[in-house]
Chain A
Amino acid sequence: MPPCKPPVARTGPAARPPAGEPPGEPIVGTVMDLDGQHTPAQVIAGLRATSEGEDLVQLLNPEGQRVSHPQFDLEISPAQLQSLYRDMVLVRRADREAKALQRQGELGLWAPLLGQEAAQIGAGRAMAPQDMAFPSYREHGVAWCRGVDPTELLGIFRGVDQGSWDPISTGFQLYTIVIANQCLHATGYAMGQRLDGKIGDAEYGEATICFFGDGATSQGDVHEGFVWAAVYDAPVVFFCQNNQWAISAPVDRQTRVPLYHRARGYGFPGIRVDGNDVLATLAVTRWALQECRTGNGPVLIEACTYRMDAHTTSDDPTRYRLSEELEEWKLKDPLERVRVHLVREGMADSAFFEGVNAEADELALRLRNYCVSMPAPGPERIFSKVYAEPSPQLDAARDDFLAYHASFLHTSGAR
């Protein structure tokens, strides 16, 4: 399947203009109005929901060249660009180390991030401190941006906890494994932001961002999340990482129309961004969050990217997709284009890259050391915090179990 192409010609407004700019064309909407303005081939391409032929916001192309965009241009300093590059290198390295830890038996499972670094760092760095993120289970890059250390992600995959970080103080909720459930939580949370009167101020206003994938868009909870968010004007950005595959199902098994077109049916803007372009993702997400913050939510973003690794470490993508496709996407690598740009523009020297690589090595080592020394929880953990209020019945069951368990310890050690 061909990858996201850079935009060739814009045939209509992609979304609302950013706040402060005069309104232009109608708000909702995207490019492909099925009104006869398009060639049959374009329509069919759209109906196939593939990533080709559609209007994609891009600010840095795969060759590492800046591309201008009339609505989403971004002023960025060399230091900021270096920082984004560093983020992506570090989360990729943490991801690769976690995969290795799984292969060596230290983790039961890992859900690789590889290839989605730009989408997640761009979106994560667009968030304000007061914003709230509701992730799926692959948002390791967003976690990084919210100050959740990569070590804190390991417990879920090592089987020692089900999410260890503080979901409130970090502004990053716990991973949600049931596909799309979090879209309703994000919407409800955003409804609460509105009820609390936190919407309207461009600087201090709050917004919510919800992460999900192309597969999730087939779930009813995405539909209901879109409906609820629309009717309550909830300040929520629905950030769909279209990584082209839901385990073995390609995106055209989920939809006939490009996913970002769906927003139109719910009455809010949908916009497609090159999810392998950290600058475009940053600019578009920042705009979308600002729309929500100032009371113009919700917004749907489809970040067009690619899951370069398996669905999880239990998956084998060679059974369902061709290696040529991966090779094509390697040419669109989210890190490489930034590296090339930094070098070509003289924004970073070799000392910078060596420094980032050394930092990545340190992070990987720290992650590994932390992982292998994580203690398994004791058996009493089974009964811990099932309820907020006291539960004498459960306490009694726990005590019975612990007494039974202890009866073995005298003879045969564990068990």
Chain B
Amino acid sequence: MAATGAPQTITLAKGLNQGLRAALEADPKVIVMGEDVGRLGGVFRITEGLQKDFGDQRVFDTPLGESGIIGTAVGLAVRGYRPVCEIQFDGFVFPGLDQIVSQLAKMHYRSQGKLRMPVVVRVPHGGGIGAVEHHSESPESYFVHTPGLKVVACANPGDAYWMIQQAITCDDPVIFFEPKRRYWDKAELDLAVPPPLFSSRVLRTGRTATVVAYGPMVRTVLDAATVAEQNGQTLEVIDLRTLSPLDLAPVFDSVRRTGRLICVSEEPGEASLTAEVAARVSEECFYSLEAPVLRVTGYDTPYPPAKCEEHYLPDLDRVLDAVDRALEY
């Protein structure tokens, strides 16, 4: 548990760990389950020490099967538990997709509220760590497209700490994306009252253009904004935080002031979250736009071999290039 008093500087991974710890302490129905989450503490050590402190009835290793993890979590939720499932890597969530889409997302609707599914599915996502295939993907739009789910993505240690706790207390199923290449980013943990879980957040104000990102791309965009400022451009940076439901009011408000919007994501762009944001902004802010909404995304290919990923992933230069293109209109 984060100590009260002196501010604490922690990594994003530690923020999640401490958030999970707080959730386990707050509610005896919270259980943590997944592959290697027990004795090992997870391959990214997010659950480190939890089994030791809360016992193997509340923090336990599962057999190796993602459908089994999600499907048994559904049954445990019927029984009154609040399971927090770890999916080891983004690319391994797909064997669990049937249970997520067909059952987890629909149980509340099917039963018209008689069954609640307070299940959190934690998924490390995104690339940039030099990994082999299936370890660097950004599958968030599959889940955003599925009614009945809520989808969030944390981008910094403070949000990691608070958002995981808020997701666990949510009575709806939450797919919780963690930016794996930012696990070791550090920041001071703000123990003040956190913003609501399903809200986006303006991280930096500006007048030249609005740039929207989430998860691992937030830091990339903030870095781009720092460089842009040296060039006399001020970028307004918004961290979406919640991908479903989207909280776009701050985006609309921003675009009405800047007239330009860049959406940034690691996902392949086609039929993705960034496409959704672009469509909504065109509906709401048509008369304010000075330029078409531009997108900076991964390409519409499978995730490439790691030696190519620096070209695949949006980076500072691609964001600034998009800003320049938006300004040409």
- Residues of A that sit less than 8 Å from B by CB: 134, 161-164, 166-168, 173-174, 176, 178, 181, 183-193, 195-196, 220-221, 224-225, 227-228, 231, 384-389, 391-394
Contacts and interface: CB of A to CB of B under 8 A. Distances in A.
Nearest to B101: A178
B110 A174 contact: yes
Nearest to B62: A228
Interface string B257-276: 00000000000000000000
Nearest to B117: A388
Interface string B48-83: 000000000100001101011011111111111100
B194 interface: no
Contact of A178 (B31, B73, B98, B148): B98
B88 to A, nearest CB: 16
Nearest to A169: B114
B119 to A, nearest CB: 10
B68 A184 contact: yes
Given A181-B102, A188-B77, A387-B148, 15 more contacts: A174-B110, A174-B111, A181-B98, A184-B74, A188-B76, A192-B79, A224-B68, A224-B71, A225-B71, A227-B63, A228-B72, A385-B109, A386-B147, A387-B150, A388-B116
Contacts of B200: none
A192 B76 contact: yes
Interface of B: 31, 57, 62-63, 65, 67-68, 70-81, 95, 98-99, 102-103, 108-118, 147-148, 150, 170-172, 245-246
A195 B76 CA distance: 10
Nearest to A234: B72
B140 to A, nearest CB: 17
Contact of A192 (B75, B117, B171): B75
23 contacts: A168-B78, A168-B114, A178-B98, A181-B102, A185-B71, A185-B74, A187-B68, A187-B72, A188-B71, A188-B72, A188-B76, A189-B78, A191-B76, A192-B80, A195-B57, A224-B63, A224-B71, A225-B71, A385-B109, A386-B109, A386-B147, A388-B108, A388-B171
B81 A192 contact: yes
Contact of B112 (A193, A224, A385, A391): A385
Nearest to A189: B75
B72 A173 contact: no
Nearest to A384: B112
A387 B172 contact: yes
A167 B114 contact: yes
Given A162-B110, A189-B78, A391-B245, A184 B148 contact: no
Residue among A174, A183, A387, A388 with the most chain B CB within 10 A? A387
A374 to B, nearest CB: 15
A153 to B, nearest CB: 14
A186 B101 CA distance: 18
Contacts of B57: 195
Contacts of B108: 385-388
Contacts of A195: 31, 57, 81
Contact of A167 (B68, B111, B118, B171): B111
B13 to A, nearest CB: 28
Contact of B75 (A186, A227, A392, A394): A186
Contacts of B80: 192
Contacts of A221: 67-68, 71, 98-99
Nearest to A387: B172
Contacts of A183: 71
Residue among B70, B79, B113, B246 with the most chain A CB within 10 A? B79
Contacts of A228: 62-63, 65, 68, 72
Contacts of A384: 109, 112
A184 B172 CA distance: 19
A224 B65 contact: yes
B111 to A, nearest CB: 6
A389 B72 contact: no
**5 closest A-B pairs (Cβ-Cβ)?**
A188-B75, A184-B71, A192-B79, A188-B72, A224-B68
A118 B109 CA distance: 33
Contacts of B79: 188-189, 191-193, 196
Given A178-B103, A193-B79, A227-B65, A161 B71 contact: no
B196 to A, nearest CB: 11
A224 B109 contact: no
Contacts of B72: 184-185, 187-188, 191, 228
B74 A385 contact: no
B245 A184 contact: no
A50 to B, nearest CB: 30
A190 B112 contact: no
A166 B113 CA distance: 10
Contacts of B171: 388-389
Contact of A185 (B65, B103, B111, B246): B103
Nearest to A197: B57
A389 B72 CA distance: 23
A183 B102 CA distance: 14
A387 B148 CA distance: 6
B103 A227 contact: no
B103 A161 contact: no
A264 B302 CA distance: 41
A226 to B, nearest CB: 10
B75 A389 contact: no
Nearest to B74: A185
Contacts of B114: 166-168
A184 B76 CA distance: 10
Contact of A188 (B73, B116, B118, B172): B73
Given A174-B111, A385-B112, A389-B172, A181 B71 contact: yes
Residue among B78, B116, B172, B245 with the most chain A CB within 10 A? B78
A187 B75 contact: yes
A174 B111 CA distance: 7
B277 to A, nearest CB: 14
Nearest to B248: A393
Contacts of A385: 108-109, 112-113
A134 B111 CA distance: 14
A224 B64 CA distance: 9
